[in-house]
Structure 1
Amino acid sequence: MPVLDLPALPRLSRAERVEAIDGWLSGLLADALSGTPRAARRRGAAPAGPVELGVALVAVGSLGRREPPPHGDLDLVLVHDGRPEIAALADALWYPIWDTGLRLDHSVRTIAEAVAVAGDDVKAGFGLLDARHVAGDPEVTAALRAATLGAWRQHASRLLPQLRDLRRARGRQVGELGFLLEPDLKEAYGGLREGQVLRALAAAQLADEPPADAGEAYTFLLDARDALQRATGRASVVLVRQEQRGVAEALGLSDDDALLRRVSLAGRRLAFMADQTWRRVDAALVRRPRGRYRRVRREPLAEGLVRQGEEVVLARDARPAADPGLVLRGAAAAARADLLLSPYTLKVLAVHAPPLPEPWPPEVRWSFLRLLASGRSAVPVLEQLDQEGLLARMLPEWDRVRSLPQRHPWHRFTVDRHLVEAAAAAAELTRDVDRPDLLLVGALLHDIGKGRPGDHSVVGEVIATEVAARMGFSPPDVAVVGSLVRHHLLLPATATRRDIDDPATVERVADTIGGDPGVLQLLHALAQADGAATSASAWSPWKAHLVAALVARVHAHLVAAPAPGPVLEPTEPQVTTAAPGVPEPGGAVTVGLQTVADGQQVTFGAPDRPGLFSRCAGVLALNQLDVRAASISVADGRATSIFAVRPRFGRVPVPEILADGLRAALEGTLPLAERLRQREVDYREDGARSAAPRVSWHDAEVAGAASTIVEVRAGDRAGLLYQLTTALADEGLDVTSARIETLGADALDSFYVCDPAGTAMSPERRRRLEVALTAAARGVAPDPAVLGAADA
């Protein structure tokens, strides 16, 4: 019996694997046709007799395409002319394959049966397009290919819409390859399956063969799949994070980001070609009235451009080589009409469009702004310009961010697509600002500095000012665009990490923007657009509320108007329970509950005592409430602690339970630390994969000399806020307010702390507190030796 060296297969190239597998299968079929008993075949008997006519072994799937993966299955069809002994022949062929341990997807068909299945089942018909002769009678294989191809073309009007819907549904389920951090190389939209679909559409004679660059993208994804399977030793198609570095090295790429970028570029090219091809196919499948001649309506849209059907094409008198503004004029016309440029028009513009003069003429800049102002309909048009290289030709800086991955859990897109999405979101806010043109350009360029050394906001400011000047904006407008890029994170970062009711916070923001209300207005709109383009987690209703409140305070400061009220205001108590050891009514524990943006506000009232704030935080954590912001005030010996919370599992907090919990925590009958440790075990929240905790100080941003801001970044888990505030209380510090932000698996908690005695915090005390906070963030007790070293 022929022998296949399975351990050696993964090390072979695809062509060598095809040759080895084909040779082995040919021998197996010869054995089966020769009638050699199975026992003799196992002893290695040589095949005897000629191969019979009327039977063929046909490969489909990856083997049929000559693309077998290092660790994959075999898709085989035994095609025959109706002979009665085919079942015994099939058994004699399949069993030796199963004996090797290879996975086998097999079928036995006559040509008529195969054609019937192909015409009825889109998946079967799609698979049979890859049929390739392996062994047996080649005329049978040729007849099968001709028959199935004829059936595919005959039933295209019914099968192709099914195939389109299958791919789109799968894309919605798995995602788009170009924007995934752990992409499915096969099934994600734009993956290997799209390359196969493009060939299937060409086989139906409704589309051209895929262009060379699509073939190159497909080949790269095949190489990445093979490298992944060699690295994992199994039939993997999902490029998980821990395997990316090894795959990058196997492909000769510098690092895992370079790999992900190449995968994104390949996936986006295949997805773009698939979308473009499907539009042509859908148009071809539409039933049209019979007639010898059909007049195509052409509707003028702009100079040199007309609408033809559902596309924008060049007018007969257009002169692309002599019209520098034609590209952007056509893109703007297409987006405004919610259409796309025709593929032929794109090709003509890519070949003949001249470089834009510098600075851009006003009409060119106006076309570009009209394109951006089109909102959502501009996204696919900008993708067209990008895929044909026209966008990078106008904005050379674009190449550095094309398909650049963003490994932040909030981001849904690569850097370039995020910028386009931000511009589309900004288009919906243009009526809220006095300079919509600067908002649109700022949104498109706000992350243009990513992928370069240094702070992307600082680097991006320089790039954005150069781009804005090249676009022909005036020097004052260029400075505003640069300021938008430089400070696009100012409002969200300040609102979520600082006490916006602190006048020092408001003054710092006002000074940073140069006291310009117009810049503040633009930054607010840019923050909204940036958050919307990132993800729902990045721009929650609560964050939007905080940013809007900060903007209102800064604006009031700039125009000397009355400032709005506090973000967190005490809620009238709904539940009252006696505090331990304190006579009524001044010692009562009260709890108020109010619905606010994206959650609830809980107000605790209790007699002031050390550690009260941390116990309130512990009770909230025990009730599965995530804290977003907090403040505490003390008057006449009574503390009011206000927390903005969001239920982790959607259950609204119950005031009675919170009141009873705080009362029990104060009297010591509720072991908060032990209960929270048990909850962490129960929910298996593990921060081991997070970076080491980091503690930082910000003295320059406080309201008074006796106060300090301390930031702690650590892995998020149940009870983290309780443990951090307990560490602060153990060091004799009071927390006056807190801002809590969750960044994926990490938390960034900012605390305003002060010493009740009014003393400043010494460097030794800071070091000691850093040790205590780091230990609390890790959920362990501080090492006495480390504490001693901090004191020293």
Structure 2
Amino acid sequence: MSLPRIPRQRAIVSRRDLSAAIDKVVADKGAVTGRQDIVDLLRQALQDGRKELLDRLLKKPGSGHESAHGHAFLIDQVIRVVHDHVIEDVYPAANRSKGERLALIAVGGYGRGEMSPFSDVDIAFVTPDKPTSWCEQVIEAILYYLWDLGLTVGHSSRSLTEMVRMAKEDLTIRTALLEGRFLWGDQGVYESASKRFWSEVVPGTESQFVSEKLAERDARHKRMGDSRYVVEPNVKDGKGGLRDLQTLYWIGKYVHRVKSAAELVDKGLFTAKEYRSFRRAEGFLLAVRAHLHTIAKRGEDRLTFDLQREVAARMNYADRPGKSAVERFMQFYFLQVKHVGHLTGVFLAHLEEETQSRSRISEFFSSFRATRTVGDYPVENDKIAAPSEDWFKEDPVRMLEVYAVAEREGLEVHPSTSRALRRDAALIDSAVRKNPRANELFLEVLAGKRDPETVLRWMNETGVFGRFLPDFAKVNAQMQFDMYHHYTVDEHTIRAIGLLSEIERGALRDDHPLASDMLPKIANRRVLYVAVLLHDIAKGRGGDHSVLGAEVARRVCPRLGLDEGETELVAWLVRYHLLMSATSFKRDLSDPKTIADFVAEVQSLERLRLLTVLTIVDIRAVGPGIWNSWKRQLIGDLYESSVERLRLGHKAHGREERIAAKKAAVAELLGDKAHLVEELDDRFDDAYWIAEPEDVIALNLPHYAAARRLEHALSIHTEFYPALGATLVTVIGTDHPGLFFRVAGAIHLAGGNIIDARIHTNRVGKAVDNFLVQDPMGKPFSEPQQLARLKKSIEDALLNKIDMVPSLAKRPLKQTRAEAFQIAPVILFDNDASNRFTVIEVNATDRPALLNRLTRAMFEQSLIINSAHITQYGERAVDTFYVTDLLGDKIVTQERLDKVEAALRDAIAAGEPGLAAAE
């Protein structure tokens, strides 16, 4: 195996000129004295070659193969020059013995000729027998030169026999040698190594190699997140990345002894079209990796947010209406890894069947078993197959039917059938889309009772999904350039459908008791599945995707067979699919107006149930760690309050009964301290009893009673609150307007983030403020020393023992990933959301101590904060405050609102260097 022809090789490096320059140094100074000059010459050659290759890449930013082969060629020439210099000038041997022979073999990715600018250089030094002292000296001298050049060298030094023995024992060594390419030195030794590898190592181990490679691939995928649609993918090792393509080639070469991926077509493992797809995906991924390395100036293989924007610019992607350049680039990236996924699936499934070992006895008995059929479809090894090559061409509706049967029967789709589906997907035209039978089959899959998620993912991989539902094709592989969404839109949607199915089957009762109880009561089951399918269908079109998505729903649902009522219900759910989460996380659920406004939009118990389940699966499918017990509690509270209002009507009904029931529940929790409910009844108004959960009140009342008995001016309590996965911080003391910003600053200094705050001033002017706190990783403080540190920090801040502003300035918490984003601040005032308060919503880039700066600005503007609701969407913070002026009135005059907005903008800019500079 040799490298493809490199155009204008001498512009990259001229081995002849470099050797001549080294010869001149040796002649003038000698090999030892002139060593540093020789290293300088080699370093300059390497530097010039890399610059030439970078210039070529920038002129042709998609030329991945040319760049990879060019870098391999450059390293080849440098190593060859070094080798010749060492054996001729450093350790010359006039009459070498048979043992003093050395072959340099490029292995791994270097052997394959696929090198990125900062790839490791993997070399096997092979000798006929145990290395002689001359061989060891030469190897050492070569390696020192390469290390002096700053190359990362992976190397081994073995005899032919040792190489064979170790290759038999170690899969990694076997894989590296599989791609061995003669680099330089003794060609006879290389040929002996190659011959012995193929005659002594490979025969009889093909099946084992395939199974081990598949296991290795699965372990790597699991380590990388087990999805090819994660928004910060690893170009090399991620699912659908370069390593998956390499795995195909390794297995093909090992089993069929092909010398290039093109030969896999002759072996029937790829069609010519699939091979072109292989090459296109490989070239694109190699180009992306080359850009990543040159931008990062190191061997960086992860497409992080900060690098995505730069790579997109390098590869000449531009903004389009509704989609930024980086989103267009990443969509193309995910389409390529989707192709890799299909190629991998078909190829490896074929090979698994080829290499599956079956005993003669099992073959004998299997010959007596008739092939199982389901309808018209034969089933082999639990895989459903098309009866003939032209099956789908004869009737394209069958492309929906085969998936419906697979979902209903719990079968996989045979690899050859998946290949045919991918080939024939283009036959799905408007006639097929309008076909009632086709739409009925699609709904069968979507709302299937077994595993719709997996089957929909198969449909998506073959292109049948996008062809049948062109609106879904538009969000196929579409990423959202933010830190909140972990997956592409299509992957998020399919995961949400899978979660809905799991909840319906009772598999997630512990995680989602509310939804599990609700689903059997829902009358419009298929409406729910269609709403989950369509809730994000209009992302990337510009404008509000909820509004645009409702329009798509009104167009698509009748085609799918939904009646007018079902269509309107789906459209409403899509239009308002963010309403429940926005209300739960950004509004005060103890404010009667919040519940009244929400119920006015929802209107019925059935719509409430549908919206609740849709909200839960939507949040949970965003990514790991997004759904938590705090969000579960808020969604549950809003649901319960809304059910009560829907059943009882106006807020006056049931309010007194609700408070009385909560007092009774708190008394039960308090046990022998139940008398505190009655004793402190004149201290706390109805708003407190409605706002706080029973278990929090049961903690607050004894703390308050103790502080009153001991005449403590300030009482601070910190405790792990497992029910919500957070730490509860309670501050009891004389109320004053600066209390909130001081507590917020102190919690930040202790390394915490406030996720919710409820501020209460009781009837005698005492503050009873409850804060829910997590660490920067979204975990609670639970260790005694952590809780003590938190308490001490708040105490010192409130007693003025620390100067807050300089202390905060000294403790900037680095958020490097968020630095890739700049959220334009948006400040909204709403005087209709509450009867008593002005609601201020602040959207800004999430930064350390943002909450402290915002609340300090409100204090300086003479505002009193009644409650705060803190939400993070990745890099974006959405903080909502219910405020009044010092007299307890709303902020209504435009002049006053403008001053508050200006102060808040200044507070945001103080934490964002770019904004501060701009202003």
Pick aligned residue for 2:88 from 26, 33, 36: 36
Helix, strand or coil at the partner of 1:701: coil
The corresponding residue for 2:633 is 545
Query: Shift in Å at residue 125 of structure 1?
Result: 0.6
Query: What does the per-residue CA deviation read over 1:260-319, in whole Å, with 9 as the maximum and x for residues that have no partner?
Result: 223222223324433444444445555422246463756656432232103111247994
Q: CA deviation at 1:337?
A: 4.1
Aligned partner (choices 692, 697, 709) of residue 839 of structure 2: 709
Report matched runs for 1:683-762 at 5 Å.
683=813, 691=822, 694-704=825-835, 707-716=837-846, 719-757=849-887, 758=889, 760-762=891-893
Q: What is the one-letter code of the residue matched to 1:74?
A: V
For residues 724 and 578 of structure 1, do their structure 2 counterparts lie closer, same or farther at Cα, with a shift above 3 Å needed? farther
Q: Deviations over 1:78-125 (max 9, x none)?
A: 444448554455456556555644443333444433222221111111
Partner residue of 1:304 out of 351, 357, 376: 376
- Counterpart-to-counterpart distance in 1, 2:83 and 2:841: 71
Structure-1 separation of matches of 2:881 and 2:72: 63
Q: Which amino acid aligns with 2:241?
A: G
CA distance in 2, matches of 1:22, 1:662: 63
What SS does the aligned partner of 1:747 have? strand
Q: Distance in 2 between matches of 1:567 and 1:759?
A: 20
CA distance in 1, matches of 2:607, 2:120: 60
**1:399 is aligned with what amino acid?**
A
Q: Secondary structure at the match of 2:116?
A: coil
Partner of 2:233: 183
User: Counterpart in 2 of 1:784?
Assistant: none
Does residue 221 (structure 1) correspond to residue 345 (structure 2)? The answer is no
**C-alpha deviation, 1:139, in angstroms:** 5.3
**Corresponding residue of 1:629:** 756
Equivalent residue of 2:333, what SS?
helix
1:123-138 matched pairs, under 5 angstroms = 123-135=172-184, 138=187
Give the equivalent residue in structure 2 for 1:169. Answer: 219
TM-score normalised per structure 1 = 0.85
Alignment of 1:490-639 (within 5 A): 490-513=579-602, 515-560=603-648, 562=654, 566-569=690-693, 570-571=697-698, 572-576=700-704, 596-599=723-726, 601-615=728-742, 617=744, 621=748, 626-639=753-766
Query: Structure 1 163/777 Cα, relative in aligned 2: closer, same or farther at 3 Å?
Result: same
- Provide closer, same or farther for how the CA distance between residues 638 and 310 of structure 1 changes in structure 2, counting only shifts above 3 A: same
- SS at 2:366 equivalent: coil
Name the CA shift for 1:159/1:660 in 2 (closer, same or farther; >3 Å). closer
Matching residue of 1:453: 542
543, 557, 566: which one pairs with 1:477? 566
| 2:399 equivalent to 1:327 | yes
User: What percentage of aligned pairs have identical amino acids?
Assistant: 25
Distance 2:278 2:458 in 1: 15
Letter of the 2:90 counterpart: R
Indicate the SS of the match to 2:842. strand
Secondary structure of 2:338 counterpart:
helix
320-329 or 76-85, larger mean C-alpha shift: 76-85
8 Å CA contact 1:676–1:719 kept in 2: the answer is: no
Q: What secondary structure does 2:384 align onto?
A: strand
Query: Unaligned 5+ residue runs, structure 2?
Result: 1-18, 22-41, 54-65, 257-266, 319-324, 505-518, 660-689, 913-918
1: distance between equivalents of 2:135 and 2:713?
Answer: 91
Counterpart CA distance in 1 for 2:704 and 2:648 is 41
Amino acid at match of 1:355: I
Deviations 1:214-243 (A, max 9, x none): 232112111212233333444333333333
The CA distance in 1 between the partners of 2:500 and 2:250, in whole Å, is 40
Paired residue for 2:472?
A: 398
8 Å contact kept, 1:603–1:640? no
CA distance in 1, matches of 2:769, 2:186: 82
Contact 1:469 1:475 in 2 (8 A): yes
Paired residues of 2:406 and 2:455 also in contact (CA < 8 A): yes
Contact 1:590 1:659 in 2 (8 A): yes
Residue in structure 1 matched with residue 428 of structure 2 by the alignment: 355
CA pair 493-376 structure 1, distance change in 2 beyond 3 A: farther
Q: Following the alignment from structure 1 to structure 2, what is the Cα–Cα distance between the partners of residues 520 and 761?
A: 33
The AA in structure 2 aligned to 1:765 is R
Q: Deviations over 1:323-363 (max 9, x none)?
A: 44422232133234443211211233344575374675555
Tell me the residue number matched to 1:774.
Answer: 905
Task: Decide whether aligned partners of structure 1 residues 129 and 375 sit closer, same or farther in structure 2, where only a CA change above 3 A counts.
Answer: farther
- C-alpha separation in 2, matches of 1:388 and 1:588: 65
- Equivalent-residue separation in structure 2 for 1:128 and 1:738 (angstroms): 62
- What residue ranges of structure 1 are gaps of 5+ in the alignment? 42-46, 782-788
Deviates more, 1:554-563 or 1:391-400: 554-563
Distance 1:358 1:467, change over 3 A: farther
Partner of 2:682: none
Amino acid at match of 1:575: H
Contact 2:102 2:127 in 1 (8 A): yes
Counterparts of residues 34-433 of structure 1 (less than 5 Å): 36-38=88-90, 56-82=103-129, 86-88=135-137, 90=139, 94=143, 97-98=146-147, 100-135=149-184, 138=187, 140-150=189-199, 151-175=201-225, 178-205=228-255, 209=269, 211-212=274-275, 213-254=277-318, 255-291=325-361, 293=364, 295=366, 300=372, 302-315=374-387, 319-352=391-424, 355=428, 357=431, 360=434, 363-374=437-448, 377-430=451-504, 431-432=519-520, 433=522
* 1:549 Cα deviation from its structure 2 partner: 1.7
The 1:670–1:503 alpha-carbon spacing in structure 2 relative to 1, beyond 3 Å, is same
Contact 1:623-1:653 at 8 Å conserved across structures: no
Higher helix share: 2
Contact 1:591–1:658 (8 Å) recurs in 2: no
Shift of 1:7: 2.0
Distance (Å, rounded) in 1 between the aligned partners of 2:188 and 2:815: 62
How many residues are aligned here? 769
Q: 1:623 to 1:244 in 2, by over 3 A?
A: closer
Contact kept in structure 2, 1:599 and 1:644, CA below 8 Å: no
Q: Is the 8 A contact 1:227 1:247 kept in 2?
A: yes
* Secondary structure in structure 1 of the residue aligned to 2:701: coil
